[in-house]
Amino acid sequence: MQKICVISSSRADYGIMSNLIKKIKNHKDFKLNLIITGSHLSKKFGLTANEIVKDKIAISDKIYIKDNKNYYQNISHLINQYSKVIKKINPKIVILLGDRYEIFAAAISSYLHRIPIGHIHGGEVTSGSMDDGFRHSITKLSYLHFAATNKSQKRILQLGEKKSSVFYVGSLSLENIKKIKFLTKSQIEKKYNTKLKKKVAFVVFHPNTIDVNNDILDMNKIISTFKVFSDYSFIFSGSNIDMGGIKISKKLKEFSKKNNFLFQDSFGKVDFLSIIKFSRVIVGNSSSGIIEAPSLKTFTINIGERQKGRELSKSIFNSSFDNKQFFNLFKKLDKIKDTNKYFQFNPYKSMNGSDKIISILKKPIKNNFNFKNFNDL
């Protein structure tokens, strides 16, 4: 059997890859080795490894990092730890998703051990965060590329990758949504012992990785307006493990408690998507507001620069951290009655991508895969 190694660092990337992971696990020709790290193993971020255990997926290895360390300390630690684990497993290929620093470290380790990398969600742009540098670097270290949109496929080619190694597979997250049994608003109320109003706004803020110093100040400008919208219930999800994430979560937790709003460090995949589905709007700077929300027919107010450069549907409205601009935009969205025209197109599509990836993984790895010529356009 061929060993396929998948590395996951968060609830978000596991949620996207979960269907693919299950298909690898159940494939007669593959042996799944799942390595987890990052917020999966942190109590402060919801200990989301428990969700993987509930899915009956065996975890091969766990790599812990310190929540209070900076990027370069964690990256150097991760490169060292990944190297030990990857050398031990010696897989046919390592599957990575996205643009986080934990995944960047895994790409470096895999490349140095001459293990091929399959990269999901490459070629995208988030010029308002450090993620761009990590994402495009992972692309150059990777052997196979699984793009979520047509534009991102073209960008991967612009980065010099061969056409024969770049595949447009669509959004795995939207593929997964078709299989989810969503919880209703009343089920969420019962599960979390809360009472929600008719209209709900879901709030998800992550740090601005380029400049974390103003995160709390900027966020305070936005959440200070929430009290005005008394006909809404606001639900808050904790931040991610980026530098500054703990401070953001602490502030949101305090604000929620003071105003009797629901807060959770992590809602898990199903609850998180269920809340998006029955909410009127998702507020903040999460990629879920860009990718999943339009397909769940939920408006997004995308705040700040973190997602700058993403492909957007008409249901997504950009706002700065100016509280007046946000306030007016929220009021405008609240008054929209004919919502259908906003949800007719999402650049992210479900294309049975997990099956496409499985069929590609079955093919033999080329000799000297690490040594690739730059494909000039």
Question: Which domains, ranges and CATH numbers included, belong to the chain?
Answer: 2-178+350-361 (3.40.50.2000), 185-343 (3.40.50.2000)
**Number of other residues whose CB lies within 10 A of the CB of residue 174:** 21
Exposed/middle/buried for residue 27 (C-beta within 10 Å: 0-12, 13-18, 19+): middle
Q: Quote the pLDDT of residue 21.
A: 97
pLDDT computed for residue 258 by the predictor:
95
How far, in Å, CA of 285 to CA of 307, rounded? 7
CA dihedral 226, 232, 237, 239 (to 10 degrees): -20
Tell me what pLDDT residue 67 has: 67
Residues of the chain with pLDDT under 70: 67-69, 211-213
| pTM score of the predicted model | 0.92
- Rounded CA separation 83/281 (Å): 42
Predicted local distance difference test score (pLDDT) of residue 141: 96
Strand partners for 41? none
Q: Is there a contact between 61 and 91 (Cβ–Cβ < 8 Å)?
A: no
Spatial separation of the C-alpha atoms in residues 9 and 23, rounded to whole Å: 19
pLDDT at 103: 97
- Sign of the torsion angle spanned by Cα atoms 375, 147, 83, 114: negative
Which regions of the chain does DSSP assign to beta strands (E)? 2-8, 30-37, 61-63, 93-97, 117-120, 144-147, 166-168, 199-204, 232-237, 262-264, 281-284, 299-303, 316-319
